[in-house]
């Protein structure tokens, strides 16, 4: 790749603002680490919670929790990844310096405004969230358009959709329309499933083949196109509920089966000795398992929500942790396979997913204990990332190059 940075200018920029992965990976991991314990305390032990009654009266917990996990934590990781990757894909400069700082600070202000123990106009956090997502989407559009790299235009469209859906989520809170809010959360969960379908299908078999020194499994065109169409339909169905439940069930079961077929071709059994690989494979495996579970339990609301959490924790959060650990090393010129040991952290999230999604179905009487255990393993996973990677993300590349 050509050098698209001026080294003299880059050296004047604090390391944290040199590429989007730095602040957004670190910021996303910090709020992930903190928000689940805070949520559990606010829900089960309000007498010890930082969230007083004024907080809950203004924001409402059943809105705050999914919103901040989706648009606070996960979208920070997604934007950090895409705004870093698009520079590599297109050889066009992405966000850095003051524009990156403005984007990140807007994201952070929105998070803080939603935590204030006072009645504030929802227009304020909605505005700062829109600045964050708007700049991110515009940057993706700009980079892709300049080189006419249309195969990556889908990511620009998806960020634009996320911006619009986030505004609708604030409208739903303002109107206390929790039917609409629930449709938004489910839509965004399937939006993430679509994103993982696209990105996971690119990077997981590629990383696996490179590390194992084997021929990469070539995609089966019919399978890939079918999966893409079905996943888009599931996003639309989650938001608008246009199809009969029986058709949705068939789509979920078919998507899960096709994902399993796809996954089996990526040699997952050969990755068990390499944490940077098996963490990706275990995370991706939760996608077809969740889809099959959603199809199976489509008429059982409680079990269906549990399967959504299996996907959110076991797939999305686990894949986020695996990717940010890998990308942070690669983009700071470190050896990806000789970085800090993350074995414990990678193992914690699948365990948390089992405690959060599976154990309450098997032993519902102990649900509160399972949720606390899940929260503890979640906290440990992201706490270990923050501990090991804060110095890496806040210092310049070790080879002295920009980035």
> With helix as H, strand as E and coil as C, how does the chain read?
CCCCCCHHHHHHCCHHHCCCHHHHHHHHHHHHHHHHHHHHHHHHCHHHCCCCHHHHHHHCHHHHHHHHHHHHHHHHHHHHHHHHHHHHHHCCCCCCHHHHHHHHHHHHHHHHHCCCCCCCCCHHHHHHHHHHHHHHHHHHHHHHHHCCCHHHHHHHHHHHHHHHHHHHHHHHHHHCCHHHHHHHHHHHHHHHHHHHHHHHHHHHHHHHHHHHCCCCCCCCHHHHHHHHHHHHHHHHHHHHCCCCHHHHHHHHHHHHHHHHHHHHCCCHHHCCCCHHHHHHHHHHHHHHHHHHHHHHCCCCHHHHHHHHHHHHHHHHHHHHHHHHHHHHHHCCCCCHHHCCCCHHHHHHHHHHHHHHHHHHHHCHHHHHHHHHHHHHHHHHHHHHHHHHHHHHHCCCCCCCCCC
d(CA 95, CA 267): 36
d(CA 51, CA 39): 9
d(CA 133, CA 160): 8
| pLDDT score recorded for residue 1 | 39
d(CA 383, CA 314): 17
Domain assignment of residue 200, yes or no: no
Burial of 312 (0-12, 13-18, 19+ CB in 10 A): buried
Distance (Å) of CA 2 to CA 8, 88, 203, 261: 16, 9, 22, 38
Domain that holds residue 149: 14-176
Q: Which residue has the higher pLDDT, 400 or 237?
A: 237
| pLDDT score recorded for residue 3 | 46
Choice among 41-45, 128-132, 381-385 with the minimum mean pLDDT: 41-45
Number of domains in the chain: 1
pLDDT interval class at 61 (50, 70, 90): confident
Domain assignment of residue 160, yes or no: yes
Query: CA torsion sign, 269 to 275 to 280 to 285?
Result: positive
Mean pLDDT over the full length of the chain: 93
Domain assignment of residue 375, yes or no: no
Domain assignment of residue 4, yes or no: no
d(CA 241, CA 244): 8
- From first CA to last CA, the distance across the chain in angstroms is 13
Determine the average pLDDT of the residues in 303-311: 97
pTM, rounded to two decimals:
0.94
Residue 58 scores a pLDDT above 60: yes
Domain assignment of residue 332, yes or no: no
pLDDT interval class at 104 (50, 70, 90): very high
Residue 69 scores a pLDDT above 60: yes
d(CA 114, CA 96): 26
Determine the average pLDDT of the residues in 373-387: 98
pLDDT interval class at 4 (50, 70, 90): low
Determine the average pLDDT of the residues in 148-171: 93
For residues 166 and 71, the answer to whether their CB atoms sit within 8 Å is: yes
Determine the average pLDDT of the residues in 356-374: 97
| pLDDT score recorded for residue 43 | 85
Largest CA distance in the chain: 62
pLDDT interval class at 151 (50, 70, 90): confident
Both tokens of 140, joined, read 């993706």
Domain assignment of residue 326, yes or no: no
Domain assignment of residue 339, yes or no: no
Domain assignment of residue 352, yes or no: no
């Amino acid at each position: 790749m050509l050098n698209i940075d001026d080294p003299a200018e880059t050296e004047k920029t604090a390391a944290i603002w040199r590429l989007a992965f730095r602040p957004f990976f670190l910021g996303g991991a910090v709020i992930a680490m903190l928000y689940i314990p805070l949520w559990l305390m606010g829900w089960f032990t309000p007498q010890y919670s930082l969230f007083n009654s004024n907080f809950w009266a203004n924001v409402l917990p059943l809105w705050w929790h999914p919103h901040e996990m989706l648009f606070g934590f996960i979208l920070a990781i997604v934007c950090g990844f895409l705004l870093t990757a698009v520079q590599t894909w297109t050889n066009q400069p992405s966000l850095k310096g003051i524009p990156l700082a403005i984007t990140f600070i807007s994201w952070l202000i929105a998070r803080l405004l939603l935590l204030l123990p006072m009645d504030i106009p929802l227009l304020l956090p909605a505005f700062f969230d829109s600045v964050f997502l708007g700049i991110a989407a515009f940057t993706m559009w700009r980079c892709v358009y300049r080189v006419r790299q249309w195969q990556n235009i889908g990511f620009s469209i998806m960020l634009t959709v996320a911006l619009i859906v986030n505004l609708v989520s604030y409208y739903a809170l303002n109107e206390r329309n929790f039917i609409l809010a629930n449709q938004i959360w489910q839509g965004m969960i399937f939006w993430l499933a679509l994103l993982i379908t696209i990105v996971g299908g690119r990077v997981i078999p590629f990383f696996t083949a490179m590390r194992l020194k084997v021929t990469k499994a070539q995609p089966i065109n019919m399978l890939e196109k079918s999966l893409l169409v079905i996943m888009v339909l599931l996003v639309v169905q989650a938001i608008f509920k246009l199809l009969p439940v029986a058709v949705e069930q068939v789509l979920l079961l078919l998507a899960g089966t096709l994902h399993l077929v796809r996954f089996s071709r990526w040699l997952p059994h050969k990755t068990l000795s390499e944490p940077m690989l098996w963490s990706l494979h275990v995370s991706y495996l939760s996608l077809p398992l969740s889809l099959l579970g959603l199809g199976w339990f489509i008429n059982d609301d409680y079990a269906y929500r549990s399967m959504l959490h299996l996907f959110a924790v076991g797939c999305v959060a686990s894949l986020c942790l695996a990717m940010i650990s890998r990308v942070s090393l690669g983009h700071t010129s470190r050896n990806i396979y000789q970085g800090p040991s993350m074995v414990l952290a990678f193992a914690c999230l699948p365990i948390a997913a089992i405690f959060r999604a599976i154990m309450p179905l098997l032993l519902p009487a102990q649900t509160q204990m399972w949720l606390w255990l899940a929260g503890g393993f979640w906290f440990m996973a992201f706490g270990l990332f923050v501990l090991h990677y804060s110095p890496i993300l806040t210092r310049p590349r070790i080879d002295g190059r920009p980035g």
